[in-house]
Amino acid sequence: MALALQWQLQLPLPLQSRPPALAAAHRRQQRRLLAPVRHAPPLRARCCAGAADDAGKTQAAARRAYPYDEIEPRWQRYWEEHRTFRTPDIGEGLDTSRPKCYILDMFPYPSGAGLHVGHPLGYTATDILSRFKRMKGFNVLHPMGWDAFGLPAEQYAIETGTHPKITTERNIARFRTQLKSLGFSYDWDREISTTEPDYYKWTQWIFLQLLKRGLAYQAEVPVNWCPALGTVLANEEVVDGVSERGGYPVIRKPMRQWMLKITSYADRLLEDLNELDWPESIKEMQRNWIGRSKGAELVFSAVDKEGHDLGATLLVYTTRPDTIFGATYLVVAPEHVLLSSLTSEEQRAHVDEYRELAARKSELERTDLQKEKTGVFSGSYAKNPANGEMIPIWVADYVLGSYGTGAIMAVPAHDSRDHEFAVKYELPIIKVVSPPNGSCDPAEAYADDGIMINSSSTSSGLDINGMLSQDAAKKVIAWVESNGFGKKKVNYKLRDWLFARQRYWGEPFPVSYLDDTNEMVPLSEDELPLTLPELDDFTPTGTGEPPLTKATNWVRTIDPLSGKPARRETSTMPQWAGSCWYYLRFMDPENSSILVDKAKERYWGPVDIYVGGAEHSVLHLLYARFWHKVLYDMGVVSTKEPFKCLINQGLILGEVEYTAYRDSKGRWVSADSDSSLIDCYQEKVPADKVTKVGDHYVLKDDPNIRLNARAYKMSKSRGNVINPDDVVSEYGADSLRLYEMFMGPLRDSKTWSTGGIEGVHRFLGRTWRLIVGPPLPDGSYNDGTMTTEDEPTLDQLRILHKCIARVTEEINETRFNTAISAMMEFVNAAYKWETQPQSVTESFVLLLSPFAPHLAEELWFRLGHRQSLAYEQFPEAKSEYLEESRVVLPVQINGKTRGTILVDKACSEDDVFQIAASDEKLSKYLAGKGIRKRIYVPGRILNVILDQQKART
């Protein structure tokens, strides 16, 4: 009765200690009686509503594969009450002689929608790795927090009139509950939110350090301004000229903004990529974003159509100075500072109209190679310094004012963008590079190196004809430098980071401006944090001024050093700010005196495994690397890079949607019909009405009608979002975890299938029944297990250790789907055994625990253990059990292979011959025959030489 009472009290561990012998005797008694004291779950302790109600609950329990709804809440309570996954601080019992492993998820933005089943994919992977590393003897740091400032919360607040702090806290609470329901082993004692003043105090502190080092400055720059949202948007927040959130028009306009000089670290950001264990595709994206290139800056003099000097010179950056003789026109960006002076009166109206259109596009749209190039003639010309010829100056939005000099020399014969533009506007195309083999498509631009042609001028004295491209480029650079027409130049696509937003919900800048001189004055560090004021009205002002201007009492201040009246900065930092350094705060979340303790940072840094979506491959990772390098230069951190290994998990797409077509008369039209489907209307078909034929899906009732089948990214607008709460309720958290890992390789995109999760749920049920036994008639289960004290057989040990070896390797290589397959194979084999030795079962439960921790903890407890298995040693595969004991041996008769036999490696020659002689296929060659000689090579071959004389008779 004590054990039953224990479960009624919801205590997951026994109240008394049992000696091993007594525990074993107890289990044997259970197996004999088959009717032991069983678990009395909390739900049943409260069920007093009558027999009918009990019967309904019993039937529902019988339909489950195992009682996950009792097991999972029980162990989640235990982990929380015992702080099982708390990582002690240095000085609080952490053994720093042990190896460490810092495993981190890209922390989420807590939206009101909560989690969908795509979110736990990466979280489950990091949890498996964290549990595995703990069991391997590592000190593991596995924290969770919230990236909670930003535009979505502010927009929701504006729409509903609810303060963003309230909605953020509510969303965080929901996310936290959902994550805990999935059994993730986070150290919740280290939880942080970027919106807490104790946290953003140090974000502001980092900004002040950037300011001291000249890495933060103010400048008037063209920005993406959204009047409806009342804020500046980053390039990635603008799609097709409208805001990603809300779809409001966005224009380009100059504004005075805070900038961070990330370009000062461009070379280091580029070079240090080589040291990182990151996907090569992600490193290449960062290299392209930084865009380091070597070339020349050339000077072109501007003239009017008569050739008169306009008194302006255009600086042009090019990576191909060797092609200077092929430059047939120049292109300047619509925002180029000299454009007004370069525009003729005849063309001014056209240029102004074009500039207005270009201002509505984001930089990403303007540089899209797939979009048709547009432009307008400025009315002015430039002199090519190589040959003195006048070439027209055009304005086109595919050139950006923020890249290079904001102007390019166009060589349409050898650049695809320039070629497309020249063909459209009928501009000259002069070929100056010939391919080494002499052949190329005359209708396409040839962009590779080659041999220079049409590249000499007697007037300038420059002649590079017949030279190789690289040698010609060097000669052109030397010529322009000696003649004052330019210089050698290294350039970057990377621009300084626009670091201000006209929003309320963000970190305040710790600076103010003196009223009398407008001088910017930083706050002293002991005044931090500068907290965000409470505002009832945080809607856009409509004037371009940030919402913080409405907090007049907060804006008006006194400079403490001079005593003069001043006003605070009313822009706030972008959402990227808080996520640039959060991984450091997890190492030391309670420190109020410094950003991070040096000893803790030296032990835990850098992050060993960082898991998140590829959508953050450039900006977040690049910004975090930049801040980390600044902190490294300051001596705050001891490593050059923040994230040692990066893993990008794939997307989980919604369930496959099947679409059929009907014509105007309502008749089905096959998707592969020769007739046009334009006039047909689409109709979604339920999955139970669909069948697969070959590689295609068709209607069950009419296999001639082929359907379109496609899975889409989960979104509320499509209505294909799967809520993990529903999955946990129906199948359990362990089933969800296991299914997301079993769907396919972690890095690949996968399609959700409810049928798939039913399969892994059945596997967990089979595992439960293998160890615990079948359910009783009322749907409940025996207490304890069906294991025995028997010594495992050699075959059982081989099966177990092969499973251990495979699961260990697959976890190390993050091939979680094949690790699960190995465990499924083990369970299939174990069902054929006459007994289940406890030592084998315990090892398997430990293997299973990183994947299905709730079920494993329950089984571990039922196997007689008093403590959580979270820190038990992960099983080690023993080599003596991994070698195959039997081999397939070829058997030859007179040198000719006649068959094979299966024998133990240790078999003697006589035993091997007896096995061969009794083999049905081989016996006909040996029966009644005289044996002259036997040649046996153990493990390789048996060759029987017959006595030829007896063989003939």
CATH number at residue 897: 3.10.20.590
Sign for the CA dihedral angle at 313, 317, 322, 325 comes to negative
Asked whether residue 340 falls in the same domain as residue 467, the answer is yes
Average pLDDT, stretch 451-459?
A: 95
Structure tokens at 664: 């105007």
Asked whether residue 763 falls in the same domain as residue 847, the answer is yes
The confidence band for 1, taking pLDDT boundaries of 50, 70 and 90, is very low
Structure tokens at 332: 């300047």
| Residue 26 scores a pLDDT above 70 | no
pLDDT of residue 419: 94
Q: Which of 247-256, 339-348, 821-830, 840-849 has the lowest mean pLDDT?
A: 247-256
Q: Would you say residue 421 lies in a domain? A: yes
Residue 742, domain CATH: 1.10.730.10
The most confident of 629-638, 653-662, 701-710, 718-727, by mean pLDDT:
629-638
Q: Would you say residue 612 lies in a domain? A: no
Asked whether residue 853 falls in the same domain as residue 898, the answer is no
Asked whether residue 873 falls in the same domain as residue 739, the answer is yes
Q: What angle do CA 377, 383, 386 make, to 5 degrees?
A: 130
Q: Which of 594-598, 599-603, 920-924 has the lowest mean pLDDT?
A: 920-924
Average pLDDT, stretch 247-271?
A: 92
pLDDT of residue 951: 47
pLDDT of residue 236: 64
SS3 101: strand
Q: Would you say residue 342 lies in a domain? A: yes
Q: Would you say residue 757 lies in a domain? A: yes
Q: Would you say residue 79 lies in a domain? A: no
8 Å CB contact between 177 and 725: no
Length, in residues, of the chain:
953
| pLDDT tens, residue by residue, 651-681 | 889 889 999 999 888 889 898 877 677 778 8
* DSSP per-residue codes, 394-425: EEETTS-TTSTTSEEEE-TTS-HHHHHHHHHH
Q: Which of 383-387, 442-446, 527-531, 758-762 has the lowest mean pLDDT?
A: 442-446
Average pLDDT, stretch 52-63?
A: 42
779: domain range?
726-881
pLDDT of residue 688: 87
CA distances from 526 to 201, 213, 530 (A): 10, 19, 10
Cα maximum dimension of the chain: 126
pLDDT of residue 364: 67
Higher pLDDT, 722 or 814: 814
State the chain's mean pLDDT as an integer.
88
Asked whether residue 477 falls in the same domain as residue 434, the answer is yes
| Residue 102 scores a pLDDT above 50 | yes
Asked whether residue 731 falls in the same domain as residue 662, the answer is no
Average pLDDT, stretch 265-288?
A: 96
pLDDT of residue 60: 45
Asked whether residue 737 falls in the same domain as residue 847, the answer is yes
Asked whether residue 420 falls in the same domain as residue 375, the answer is yes
Residue 451, domain CATH: 3.90.740.10
Asked whether residue 395 falls in the same domain as residue 438, the answer is yes
pLDDT of residue 493: 86
Asked whether residue 303 falls in the same domain as residue 257, the answer is no
pLDDT of residue 590: 95
* DSSP per-residue codes, 427-481: ------EE-TTS---TTS---S--EE-S-EETTTTEE-TT-BHHHHHHHHHHHHH
| Residue 574 scores a pLDDT above 70 | yes
The confidence band for 366, taking pLDDT boundaries of 50, 70 and 90, is confident
Q: Would you say residue 284 lies in a domain? A: no
Cα first-last separation, the chain: 82
Instruction: Give the residue from 511, 540, 575 where a domain finishes.
Output: 575
Q: How far apart (Å, rounded) are the C-alpha atoms in residues 603 and 597?
A: 10
| Residues 6 or more apart whose Cβ sits within 8 Å of residue 282 | 614, 617, 621, 646, 648
Q: Would you say residue 479 lies in a domain? A: yes
Instruction: Give the residue from 663, 681, 715 where a domain finishes.
Output: 715
Taking the model in full, what pTM does it have?
0.83
pLDDT of residue 905: 81
Q: How far apart (Å, rounded) are the C-alpha atoms in residues 414 and 411?
A: 6
Phi and psi of 801, rounded to 5°? Answer: -70, -30
| Residues 6 or more apart whose Cβ sits within 8 Å of residue 280 | none
Average pLDDT, stretch 719-725?
A: 87
Instruction: Give the residue from 548, 575, 602 where a domain finishes.
Output: 575
Percentage of the chain beyond pLDDT 90 is 66
Q: Which of 222-226, 507-511, 860-864 has the lowest mean pLDDT?
A: 222-226
The reply to whether omega before 529 is within 30° of 0 (cis) is yes
pLDDT of residue 609: 98
pLDDT of residue 247: 87
Asked whether residue 556 falls in the same domain as residue 477, the answer is no
pLDDT of residue 403: 75
Average pLDDT, stretch 101-120?
A: 90
Average pLDDT, stretch 686-696?
A: 89
Which of 145, 130, 118 is closest to 851 using CA atoms? 130
Give the number of domains in the chain: 5
| Residue 924 scores a pLDDT above 90 | no
| Residue 22 scores a pLDDT above 50 | no
Q: How far apart (Å, rounded) are the C-alpha atoms in residues 850 and 823?
A: 12
Asked whether residue 735 falls in the same domain as residue 809, the answer is yes
| Residues 6 or more apart whose Cβ sits within 8 Å of residue 394 | 329, 330, 331, 332, 375, 376, 377, 378, 410, 421, 425
Q: Would you say residue 64 lies in a domain? A: no
pLDDT of residue 38: 32
Average pLDDT, stretch 544-562?
A: 92
